[in-house]
Structure 1
Amino acid sequence: MKKLCFLFLLSLILLSCARVGSPVGGAKDSIPPRVVGTNIDSSRVNVPRDIKELRIDFDEYITLKEINKHLIISPPLRKMTKILPSGMANKYLLIKWEDTLQANTTYNFNFGNAIVDNNEGNALQYYNFAFSTGDKIDDLYISGDLKSLISDKDQKSSEPNLVVGLYQDKDSVDYRQKPYYIAKADPDGYFELNYLSPGTYRILAFEDSNSNSVYDPGKEKVGFLKDKIVLDKNISGLKLNLYPSRKAQKYVEMKEIPGGILMTFEGNPQNVKVFSLNEKLQDYKVTHAPKSDSVTVWFDTKKQNVGIATSENLKFSYDDGVKQDTVSVFYRLNTKNEMALSNSKGNILPPNQDFVITSNYFIDNIQPEKWTLVSDSIQQDFTAQISEKNPFEVRIQSQFKEGKKYSLTVPKETVSSFYETIQKSYRFDFESDKTENYGTLVLTLENAPEQIFWLQLLSENGNVSYSKYGKEANLTFRSVKPGKYQIRILVDNNDNGIWDSADFLGGEFAEDVYIFEKNVEIRPLWEIREKWNLQPGAETTISADPASEIKPTIPVEQPKPSDENF
């Protein structure tokens, strides 16, 4: 019996010693790991240049959480060979490299929140380890804040990876390499670049979406200063704004779409000339809106016997103002393709707005005299025209009365593209909504931009819900759906009809952006009045009154197609 008890106790002791994990019972551990030693002397100066590893010992077992995302080494080491722990926990952190360290240089290993204890996951927050190959550790710093003025709808679900880097100012600076100094910003945009040496630098902030510590033009947001930074003393409170970066102009691809072929470009070409290099394809139309990334080649496949029985290699030449080239695509007619109409904006029509129908083809001609608009079995007068801003839309205007139901009938062959027409009739049923379901926004701008601008109302999901383009300082948005909106101004500084993003390599800032300091809530039957002084530091005033006598007569201009890119 005693022998069995002894064996049982011995088994428990061995099991408890063999396992590294969370202790059972007792107060929850809330203390992060503590450094107890390193392989580098405590003075951390005159470190040999041929040292190939950094080892840091801790008072408890640790693991590394997203170390590749959090760890930033300045200046960067090019040839990393090992980082431990990896997988199993242990009581030390080990980093190995093959580089020979630079002379008289301070190296800073910023671990962010990657070092956590193995029991409760308590992070050793923003831990830095610095040492110098010279006789002193550089101690200058730059701190400040990053702010993204243009939201990215595609990245709302994840935390942006914002970094700030310094490049040494030389005759030729290679921005395709990692910055000489680099630091990760907090989620709120605050950043610190520490252990800096005196010198002249270029500063660059960017959203490092692929975590490679290198700025990717056209893919990542960017912020920078045009002037060099002469660093001879500490700098704090530096403000950097992040903007979408400008893509280099280039051809991307060509593919079959209903009605023809779609060519896509990057960089917003002003004008693209396209010519067919095919004997069979001689009759075609090319459409391209200035500064658009899409070019469409429309043609009658059946009439010209192109891609009917088998796939055919179609060749085209293009000139986008930057490059002339020849491209091709294997084309075969999709027999399911047809010109179609839809009511993409729903069957509830806000007061005093046009009813809009949309086509998947460029609309070249309509015959509204053959259409009918009926309410309560009575035909209504109306006018219809192809939208000047979007040739894929037709806008129908009438004296729509609140609360009334309408039915619009569009017979077949009354809406046409260049080589196609609708082959069936369409009926669109909708209802004109009541004013009491909407609110009004009256906005007065003080110190408004001298150039023309877009004033936009953004919904909570970041989409442009309402937009006006002009120079008016007194603006009224009627029939606004209830909800919370952000107000934004994009200035068309160069008057080219689009908002231009930032070009770091070309040294061009993005065009001006203003963000109203708080969201505005629109309520049914309320008229919200606001004053916005765009002069920095000016106060903003907001007032709201029930709009019991609102009589909207002016339809709100809908966003331009290009607004969706902002």
Structure 2
Amino acid sequence: MKRILLLFIFSWLLFSCARVGSPVGGNKDTIPPRVVGSNIDSARISVPIDIRELRIDFDEYITLKEINKNLIISPPIKIKKILPSGVANKYLLIKWDEMLQANTTYNFNFGNAIVDNNEGNALKYYNFAFSTGEKIDDLYISGEVKTLIPNKDAKADEKSLVVGLYQVKDTMNYRQKPYYITKADPDGYFELNYLSPGKYRILAFEDANSNSVFDAGKESVGFLKEELDLNQSISGLKIDLFPSKKKVRYTEMKEVPGGILMLFEGNPDEVKVTAKGNRPENYQVTHVPKSDSLYIWFDAKKENLGITQSENLKFAYDNGVKKDSASMFYRFNAKNEMTLSNAKGNLLPPNQDFVFSSNYYVDKIQPEKWKLVSDSIQQEFTAKVSEKNPFEIRLSSNFKEGKKYSLTVPKETVSSFFESNAKSYRFDFQTDKTENYGTFFVTLENAPTHHFWLQMLNETGDVAYSKFGKETKQTFNAVKPGKYQLRILVDNNENGSWDTADFENNEFAEEVYVFEKKIDIRPLWEIREIWNLNPKKDGPETTPQLPATPTDTVPKNIKSK
């Protein structure tokens, strides 16, 4: 009996110990941290200008999430220290060294940076405002920033839409942070709060590098041409972002097959280049107007340029903005040769030319020596160098659906200035059937009076099909099945290019229209749409939009990928 009693006591103790560490359950904490005090009194006015820190106390332990990206202070203050950093605590501390401005309202916008330590619940869009004057300024501006196509060169987590106000002064430096600044929500909505009356210029931009300063030519931009005379709050402001204009400047030179590639930013209209000295003695320069690439072609073997060792080659250039010179140490690559390739695949859409390309500028072709064969029967054809891309050759023939073709291009029948194809090429391809494609008809109402590019963008945002002209009725034949966005870029100044926004010279981008309805192309279907470009009349609305990667029929100043 005694043994049974001891066993019972031991079992009870074991069960009790097992229950000590067991979870008690309950709902998950979803409540964000709550502010319980600060080192600035509750009125938050008449704050001394020599104050050097802001401390905010919370009811629980907090951490800061991406505080450097989230925290925006208006007017800007250079921060010396921010806590917590790494270890959670119950207060937030910000320190600075500079003296504050008198009679000024300061707003600390923390975004979603303040989170509790346990569950990561964010204190969303938290602001702390105080004034060194007798009152807190209470004017505001709210509105929407719209950009429909993201900048593919920037990573998604590095991007944010920023809206700022600059005070209108005799001299204005837009390379400094705006006097007032805020970040837009993911849907583009923004608020600028605690503003004082005055005259401002408003600027919105895609802050890709998170420096709170607009970087022209690298970030999309939107602005109003007129100054804002702020004496009462403004709501419902609309700002559309467009790619920003790059300044024309030389960037670099590098060796390429056949010569040297000289690169420029800003898409110069024309670039003139001459060799300094007598190296190379004989050369050709090619540059497509409003493009960033200029080629210098020469015969390195014949002139013994950079064959045994690198040679410093110097060139003078005039890009229309600046006259200067550049140099590089050139070393000939023995593996370089003219090559031909079919980068667009072996399945040719119906009623299309067969296109192949060269890595050299094509100066001359001898199509009379080529052979196009189908079912062992030689076919008639014509061929020419593309007018829009001198690195491409277009071959036209009466291609039959479902037929297989073979094109033979013998050696030395495609020539550049100092080189020709050293070997023969054979391209095998097949013409696809019409039943695998759809047709799209569109009628434009209230169409632009200037020439325009009518484009069909695929689901990745790239231009799949494009037409240029003024016609109000357009037909796209042999369109691959898929969903497309229809867009128009207007050549308002009729210069053959779609011009981006120039904030420095207060010039908007040229007009852009986007058909809000997706175009769903299906095999053998004929899709018809009427597009009214005047949003004041009945029909789908139009929306300004950024340009995506174009085909060779779009503006010259937008490069193909």
- TM-score of the superposition, structure 1-length normalised? 0.92
Partner of residue 58, structure 1: 58
Q: Secondary structure at the match of 1:302?
A: helix
Partner of residue 48, structure 1: 48
CA contact (8 A) 1:153 1:461 kept: no
One-letter identity of the residue aligned with 2:54: L
1:478 aligns with 2:477: yes
Question: Where do 1:323-338 residues align within 5 Å?
Answer: 323-338=322-337
> In the TM superposition, what is the alpha-carbon distance from 1:498 to its structure 2 partner?
1.0
String of CA shifts for 1:12-69, please: whole Å, max 9, x gaps: 99xx9xxxxxx97432100000001111000101111111111111111110000000
One-letter identity of the residue aligned with 1:519: K
> In the TM superposition, what is the alpha-carbon distance from 1:326 to its structure 2 partner?
1.3
**Structure-2 change in CA distance of 1:506 and 1:76 (3 Å):** same
**Distance in 2 separating the partners of 1:262 and 1:47:** 60
1:494 aligns with 2:483: no
> In the TM superposition, what is the alpha-carbon distance from 1:560 to its structure 2 partner?
6.1
Question: Where do 1:145-544 residues align within 5 Å?
Answer: 145-155=144-154, 157-158=156-157, 160-540=159-539
**Structure-2 change in CA distance of 1:454 and 1:312 (3 Å):** same
Question: Where do 1:7-22 residues align within 5 Å?
Answer: none
CA contact (8 A) 1:150 1:244 kept: no
Count of aligned residue pairs for this structure pair: 536
CA contact (8 A) 1:531 1:541 kept: no
**Distance in 2 separating the partners of 1:122 and 1:242:** 32
**Structure-2 change in CA distance of 1:559 and 1:102 (3 Å):** closer
**Structure-2 change in CA distance of 1:335 and 1:27 (3 Å):** same
CA contact (8 A) 1:246 1:501 kept: yes
Q: Secondary structure at the match of 1:317?
A: strand
**Structure-2 change in CA distance of 1:558 and 1:351 (3 Å):** farther
**Structure-2 change in CA distance of 1:148 and 1:52 (3 Å):** same
CA contact (8 A) 2:365 2:413 kept: yes
CA contact (8 A) 1:160 1:209 kept: yes
1:39 aligns with 2:39: yes
> In the TM superposition, what is the alpha-carbon distance from 1:536 to its structure 2 partner?
1.8
**Distance in 1 separating the partners of 2:392 and 2:216:** 34
One-letter identity of the residue aligned with 2:347: I
**Distance in 2 separating the partners of 1:103 and 1:215:** 27
Partner of residue 98, structure 2: 99
Q: Structure 2: which 5+ residue stretches go unaligned? A: 1-15, 542-550
Partner of residue 549, structure 1: none
String of CA shifts for 1:134-186, please: whole Å, max 9, x gaps: 11111100000001155423347447300100011111111111100000000
1:68 aligns with 2:65: no
**Distance in 2 separating the partners of 1:407 and 1:152:** 40
**Structure-2 change in CA distance of 1:533 and 1:189 (3 Å):** same
One-letter identity of the residue aligned with 1:115: I
**Distance in 1 separating the partners of 2:76 and 2:465:** 46
> In the TM superposition, what is the alpha-carbon distance from 1:558 to its structure 2 partner?
5.1
String of CA shifts for 1:489-510, please: whole Å, max 9, x gaps: 1111111111111111111111
CA contact (8 A) 2:453 2:554 kept: no
Partner of residue 13, structure 2: none
One-letter identity of the residue aligned with 1:202: R
Q: Structure 1: which 5+ residue stretches go unaligned? A: 1-8, 17-22, 543-555
**Structure-2 change in CA distance of 1:287 and 1:433 (3 Å):** same
Q: 533-542 or 129-138, which moves further after superposition?
A: 533-542
CA contact (8 A) 2:267 2:557 kept: no
> In the TM superposition, what is the alpha-carbon distance from 1:520 to its structure 2 partner?
1.2
Q: Secondary structure at the match of 2:435?
A: helix
User: What fraction of aligned residue pairs are identical, expressed as a percent?
Assistant: 70
> In the TM superposition, what is the alpha-carbon distance from 1:541 to its structure 2 partner?
6.7
RMSD between aligned alpha carbons? 2.1
Q: Secondary structure at the match of 1:154?
A: coil
**Structure-2 change in CA distance of 1:156 and 1:533 (3 Å):** farther
> In the TM superposition, what is the alpha-carbon distance from 1:557 to its structure 2 partner?
8.3
One-letter identity of the residue aligned with 1:87: G
**Distance in 2 separating the partners of 1:76 and 1:142:** 18
Q: Secondary structure at the match of 1:488?
A: strand
One-letter identity of the residue aligned with 2:167: Q
Q: Secondary structure at the match of 1:82?
A: strand
CA contact (8 A) 1:85 1:94 kept: yes
